[in-house]
Amino acid sequence: MKASREWLEEFSNIDVTTLELADKLTMTGSKVETVEQRGNDIKNVVVGKILEIKKHPDADKLVVTKVDVANEILQIVTGANNIKVGDIVPIAKDGASLPNGVKIKTGKLRGIESCGMMCSVGELNLNLSDYPEQIEHGIMILDKKLEKDLGKDIVEVLNLKEDVIDFEITPNRPDCLSIEGLGREVAITLNKEFKNPRKNIDELKIENKEEIEGLKVSIEAPDLCYRYIARVVKDVKIEESPDWMKRRLKACGVRSINNIVDITNYVMLEMGQPMHAFDINSIEGKHITVRRARKQEKITTLDEVERTLDEDNLVIADDKKAVAIAGVMGGLNSEIEETTKTVVFESAVFNGGSVRKTAKKVALRTESSSRFEKGLSPENALRAINRAVELVELIKAGKAIDGKIDVYPTKQKINKIKIDENKINSLLGINLSKEEMIEILEKLQIKVENDIAIAPYFRMDLEYLADIAEEIVRIYRI
């Protein structure tokens, strides 16, 4: 699980360096695999403006340019042919270093002095897909508006700095497969207050409906589907997501597709709940059924591969066909398209073992299936869908329709564990008072009432006194 520092900061103040944060989190149980500090490897590259382009006297393929970098005019020889006078370009000055390890030095090209280099997208280690207007083999041409930033560091101007921590999350902590969950761990680890930016979502009351816009939902296999919530948004405009959303997705290694699909991925990353979005018109009979697949039932998934299922696999189906393999991947037949006007969001919780088996059978392990297989919280599913709808309105991707369809056959069990401080002390070999223990537990949002610890909805892994002892020891440390 990748998390950017910037996104984590929405959940907790961070007053240590990213490397220190990584070390501390590892010691409280969120094991850090790698820390990537993007943008740190670009040094002394600034914004410049091309003032003049002349032919090189001794080389047909080279030109001699004059470039304004605010405090001086540099002469730079280049072989690029996509530049013109007035272009704003990234200039690696004498002494600059680039992500590929290249150091830039003043030198002569065919007898003419060149005091730096103009950079391409690749030379700055940027993805062409993030800068679709740029070309691969040519100088990166910056926005004209950046003329005001001549001479300034390109890393600052293009906001290229990004610290990304990659975590190895143990299977008992699916809540930490989310920025929110990791944010809670950051707050505990640094002894800060958890900011709880989703408080409004927690307090939201959404009315239950049998039917929205003609849509109905039934669960035929309640042993494999514990909860299925649908909400509908209309007047949808499918377009690109805003930069801040694309940036966060990218930091976590997720490609931006369009605003609606991006919202489902964004919510999954933020809250750990995989989501799905359908075009309402692709649901025949406007009736969603969660059922076992039929023997040899076929579905073509979003990756355009036909998959064959059997009765052990769970599908989301309309009256005629399967539209998704539950918890694994959506079907191509219900994909969000440019023309989509009304979107159905799905937030559901499936049996972990079943999703694991299905993913294995169809050889398709996805971000979604790897979360479901660890067992997700049905309570969190509601928060996630409400957050998705909130985001739709926030980025003006469509209008929310009131109400939710919420089929919830198996209420999430909230685990309660009797605290026995003597047993905990004797198991750990420490000597804490009950009050000290309760203080640690409450920081972890584990409420203690009359010596009974109540596991929060997102900690379904807490079942035994030994689990409580583990929570204490990972914070107290021996």
Partner 1 sequence: MEEQIAKIKENSIKEMSQCNDEKELNELKVKYLGKKGELTKVLRGMGALNSEERPVIGALVNKIRDELEALIENKAQEFKKQELSKRLQTENIDVTEPSKKIHLGSLHPITKIINEVEEIFLGMGYQIADGPEVEKAIYNFDKLNTPPDHPARDLQDTFYITDDILLRSQTSPVQARVMETQKPPIKVICPGAVYRSDSVDSTHSPVFHQVEGLVVDKNISMTDLKGTLEMFAKKCLGENTKIRFRPHHFPFTEPSAEADVSCFVCGGKGCKVCKGEGWIELLGCGMVHPNVLKNCNIDPDEYSGFAFGFGVERIAMAKFGIDDMRLLFENDIRFLKQF
Residue 334 dihedral angles phi and psi, to the nearest 5°: -125, 20
E strand intervals along 201-240? 216-219, 225-234
Where does this chain touch partner 1 (CB under 8 A) — which range of 315-323, 391-399, 424-432, 443-451?
A: 424-432
C-alpha dist (Å) from residue 131 to 113, 134, 160, 172, 250: 31, 6, 13, 39, 13
CB-based contacts of 353, cutoff 8 Å, min separation 6: 373
Token pair, residue 374, equals: 């660890």
427 lies in the site for partner 1, by CB under 8 A: yes
330 lies in the site for partner 1, by CB under 8 A: no
466 lies in the site for partner 1, by CB under 8 A: yes
Which residue, 454 or 465, has its beta carbon nearer to partner 1? 465
Q: How far apart are CA 51 and CA 92, in angstroms?
A: 16
90 lies in the site for partner 1, by CB under 8 A: no
Residue type, 421: E
Helix axes 259-271, 243-251, angle to 10 degrees: 50
The DSSP line for 389-445 is: HHHHHHTTS-EEPS-BEEE-SSPPPPPEEE--HHHHHHHHT----HHHHHHHHHHTT
Smallest distance, Å, CB 191 to partner 1? 17
Secondary structure string (H, E, C) spanning 96-110: EECCCCCECCCEEEC
459 lies in the site for partner 1, by CB under 8 A: no
173 lies in the site for partner 1, by CB under 8 A: yes
Rounded to a whole number of angstroms, the CA Rg of the chain reads: 27
Number of residues that bind partner 1 (CB under 8 A): 29
Residue 460 in contact with residue 412, Cβ under 8 Å?
Answer: yes
The single residue among 13, 170, 200, 208 that binds partner 1, judged by CB under 8 A, is: 170
31 lies in the site for partner 1, by CB under 8 A: yes
363 lies in the site for partner 1, by CB under 8 A: no
CA 406 to chain centre: 25
477 lies in the site for partner 1, by CB under 8 A: yes
The single residue among 332, 430, 432, 454 that binds partner 1, judged by CB under 8 A, is: 430
26 lies in the site for partner 1, by CB under 8 A: yes
Which residue, 351 or 380, has its beta carbon nearer to partner 1? 351
57 lies in the site for partner 1, by CB under 8 A: no
Helix axes 421-428, 434-443, angle to 10 degrees: 80
Q: How far apart are CA 382 and CA 271, in angstroms?
A: 11
Token pair, residue 431, equals: 């000597």
Smallest distance, Å, CB 139 to partner 1? 37
Residues 189-228 that bind partner 1 (CB under 8 A): none
49 lies in the site for partner 1, by CB under 8 A: no
Which residue, 128 or 427, has its beta carbon nearer to partner 1? 427
Look at residue 226 and give its three-state secondary structure.
Answer: strand
Which residue, 291 or 356, has its beta carbon nearer to partner 1? 356
Where does this chain touch partner 1 (CB under 8 A) — which range of 35-43, 110-118, 426-434, 435-443?
A: 426-434
Residues 230-289 that bind partner 1 (CB under 8 A): none
478 lies in the site for partner 1, by CB under 8 A: yes
410 lies in the site for partner 1, by CB under 8 A: no
CB-based contacts of 253, cutoff 8 Å, min separation 6: 2
Residue 246 dihedral angles phi and psi, to the nearest 5°: -60, -40
373 lies in the site for partner 1, by CB under 8 A: yes
Which residue, 125 or 410, has its beta carbon nearer to partner 1? 410
68 lies in the site for partner 1, by CB under 8 A: no
The single residue among 10, 24, 28, 454 that binds partner 1, judged by CB under 8 A, is: 28
432 lies in the site for partner 1, by CB under 8 A: no
The single residue among 15, 295, 429, 449 that binds partner 1, judged by CB under 8 A, is: 429
E strand intervals along 12-161? 31-38, 43-56, 59-68, 73-78, 88-97, 107-109, 112-114, 116-118
The binding site for partner 1 (CB under 8 A) comprises: 26-29, 31, 170-173, 352-353, 356, 373-374, 426-430, 464-467, 469-470, 473-474, 477-478
